[in-house]
């Protein structure tokens, strides 16, 4: 695949974090679902660190009521820091300092009504401006040697246009995802001629599904300006992306790594196990725990 003449750099990333997290009630009654921990870090921190590792300069959080814990997490906590200094906990102190950025490099805006993912992204339009940008959904946690977004930015240098992370799903599950209508596929990058949001299995054009990583051109905001409801009565990002096809190239990248759907309880629990097994300080203990319950550790 030839390199496009111009591919604007990706400097900004949007994080839609305004959802209610009803699948995890009562845990999320007072705690944002994005703050649920996988081992010892909240989901939103994994997403932010993935963005930073890919060279993202500005994080834009689209929040809602009851999400102040996210803002606090990425802010100074003077009392805690002073306590860690007094107790000689220098390693923990450095971990906390790694979350801090210069003023203006993390910004927040509110989604005042839960009108869908497309609406949440649209709420960030003035902060993004007319440049290409990334979108990361914290619910999709990816365990990979190279961060997924970094892989995407590398592929974006080849494709330009709109680029999404994709993976094949069982056909019976296509009604849970945005599905690509593929025109060309080399096994790594698939070119799409269309997109369908949550098609019935018998109507799905493929089993190649979009997951929560996107690189988008600003033309998507022009389509989101329509504020048209799609599947589920919500403003769908997939619909807006689909309407840009023909004007903006559209591709899906099969990323290297394993994705965990932390939007449901089983996926969240599996992510905790997998991330613990991937850590030198926890792998042995986790394997022993799983062995007690007859679990597999391979």
pTM: 0.91
**Tokens representing 114?**
């839960």
pLDDT on residue 101: 86
pLDDT on residue 296: 57
pLDDT on residue 141: 97
Q: Which residues of 177-199 are buried (b: 16+ CB within 10 A; e: fewer)?
A: bbbbbbeebeeebbbbeebbbbb
Q: Report all structural domains of the chain as residue ranges with CATH numbers, in order of start.
A: 12-263 (3.90.550.10), 264-298 (no CATH)
pLDDT on residue 76: 86
5 — pLDDT class (breaks 50, 70, 90): very low
Cβ 191 vs Cβ 197: under 8 Å: no
pLDDT on residue 7: 64
Q: Which long-range contacts link 260-269 to residues 24+ away (Cβ below 8 Å)?
A: 260/140, 260/141, 260/142, 260/143, 261/139, 261/140, 262/36, 262/38, 262/43, 262/138, 262/139, 262/140, 262/141, 263/23, 263/139, 263/140, 264/23, 265/23, 265/24, 268/24, 268/36, 268/38
| Residues in contact with 280: Cβ distance below 8 Å, sequence separation at least 6, in sequence order | none
2 — pLDDT class (breaks 50, 70, 90): very low
Q: How many whole angstroms separate alpha carbon 283 and alpha carbon 110?
A: 39
Q: pLDDT digits over 29-54, tens only?
A: 889 999 999 999 999 999 999 999 99
**Average pLDDT estimate for 237-249:** 92
């Amino acid at each position: 695949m030839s390199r496009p003449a111009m591919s604007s750099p990706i400097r900004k990333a949007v994080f839609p974090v305004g959802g209610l997290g009803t699948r995890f009630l009562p845990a999320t009654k007072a705690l944002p679902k994005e703050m649920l921990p996988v081992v010892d870090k909240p989901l939103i921190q994994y997403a932010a660190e993935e963005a930073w590792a890919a060279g993202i300069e500005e994080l834009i959080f689209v929040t809602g009521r009851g999400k102040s814990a996210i803002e606090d997490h990425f802010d100074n906590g003077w009392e805690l820091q002073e306590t860690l200094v007094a107790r000689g906990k220098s390693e923990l102190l450095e971990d906390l300092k790694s979350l801090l950025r210069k003023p203006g490099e993390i910004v927040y805006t509110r989604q005042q009504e839960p009108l869908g993912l497309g609406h949440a992204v649209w709420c960030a339009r003035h902060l993004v401006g007319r440049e290409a940008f990334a979108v990361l959904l914290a619910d999709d946690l990816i365990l990979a040697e190279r961060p997924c977004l970094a892989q995407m930015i590398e592929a974006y240098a080849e494709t330009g246009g709109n680029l999404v992370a994709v993976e094949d799903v069982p056909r019976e599950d296509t009604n849970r995802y945005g599905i690509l209508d593929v025109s060309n596929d080399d096994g790594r990058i698939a070119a799409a001629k269309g997109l369908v949001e949550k098609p019935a299995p018998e109507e799905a054009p493929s089993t190649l599904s979009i997951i929560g990583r996107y690189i988008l051109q600003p033309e998507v905001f022009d389509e989101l300006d329509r504020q048209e409801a799609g599947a589920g009565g919500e403003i769908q990002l997939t619909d807006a992306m689909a309407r840009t096809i023909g004007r903006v190239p559209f591709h899906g990248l099969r990323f290297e790594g394993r994705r965990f759907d932390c939007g449901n309880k089983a996926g969240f629990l599996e992510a905790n196990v997998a991330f613990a097994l991937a850590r030198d300080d926890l792998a042995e203990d986790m394997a022993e725990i799983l062995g007690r319950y007859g679990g597999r550790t391979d």
